[in-house]
Structure 1
Amino acid sequence: MAVAQRHKSFPLITPTNNRYLAFKWDSHKYDVHRNRIANIRSTVDTRPPVTARTIPPTAPSRKSRISRERNSQIENENVKLLKKMVRINETGGRVDNRNQNQFSRSLNSWKRKQELDRIERENISILKRIALREPEYDQRLFEEDWLVHDQLSAAVARYPRRWWEFPKKSAPDLDRPNTGSHTYMRRRRSQSTSSSRPNTSAKSR
């Protein structure tokens, strides 16, 4: 049957006024349905996992790569240093950083110079005032007062100063003033108590 006459034998489910258009629309819907069925995807992903890319054994390691980069950097620095040394040898090591510009590049250099001069004059005047200022306290009087107080404190002290620097004897010195000697303290207390007691033997006589 020719394509132009195929719509005449096409079965219709619903009544229609134009059998040709109904055949055309149904054929288009059918083709769309077949395309969807052909391109349908499964709900569960059953594809094989992606395999990891393996590094070939011939690839360089990270350590060797870092070492190679370091060596290349050292070589570049050596080349630069060699160029500098050759240039110094050719030019004789003269300084070439002089500024040939005779004019000042700053527009307010004179203002900064005036400010520096003003600050210097003020500093000099302050230094003169400090140098010519007489002290309010006499150091000699302080030293004399300290000597008097030092003599008084030495006179009223119970133990001599820096007693721990005295030379020690082999035998225990009970009369030697020592803060840690309890025997010396007990002996001094016994002496003070015996001197404070009245002499009963003299009265009995």
Structure 2
Amino acid sequence: MLHLAYQPLLPTGSKYLQLKWDQASYDMHRRKVKSAKPTINTTPPTTYNHLALKQKKQKLEEQRMMKIQKENNMLLEKISHIMRTTGRIDNRNDYERKSLGRERRQLEMLRITKENQMILFRLSQCRPHYNVRIWHEDWLKTLKVMDSIARYPRGWAQQQKDKEKSCQKSSDCENEEKTSTDATGRTAESNTTSGKAESEEKGERKDASKEEAEALVQGGAGTHTAPKLSAPDLITNTRNKHPHAAESSPSSDKTEMSNTPNTTRVSRPCTPDTQTHEQETAGSDYKDTT
């Protein structure tokens, strides 16, 4: 009764036969699909036992282990033999070190020592080519020539520096003493008396400077008696024309004033006429003494 409900694609005379034929063709198609083989081989590659097991490597490893085991057994036997008996070990060594080139080295050392001794003997016997005594005499002659040519005596600059340093030290000491005395004895009465004394000293200084200026002016017209000067004062007066001597003169004045702290300092007017007059008088006095 199924063939009655079957609807074929093409018109047929018998639905029963057409159903039977279509079913047979469909079954054959399904058998072909099931029995179809793939065109691409997706199966895994074949494995070979000789590549997976590597019997050669296993054989070498067994031989190595057999060798190690044999050596261990030999070592164990030796240790057990030593533990059971005294063993065959001897710590004594009667070998003497021998050198094949010892004699030759000794002969070479003797030759070198002989040569060194000969060189030392020649060096000790040779005479010097230069004479130290002649060098010393030549140096003394050059010192004399230098002293005769020099404008200032040797060590003059160092002496001036020493004088300046001593003057500075003395002035610093005086200033410190003055400041200490002023700080301790500063009162109202002392301030008033010091002001009066300073005013009187200023007046005396002014008067003294005026008198000295008048005396210098009168002395330029008439005769002038120069004071006696010592040897260092004469040297400084004769060298007043040199610029370095002018710088060194204040240091000498400072030393003189510092050595006499009780004397009052008198300021002289520094005019070009008075300076030239003093230089001329100092030069004439130096000539008379020489």
TM bracket, shorter-chain basis: 0.3 to 0.5
Give TM-score, length-normalised by structure 1.
Answer: 0.39
Structure number with the bigger relative contact order (C-alpha 8 A, sep ≥ 6) is 2
| Structure with bigger gyration radius | 2
Q: Give the helix-richer structure, 1 or 2.
A: 2
Give TM-score, length-normalised by structure 2.
Answer: 0.29
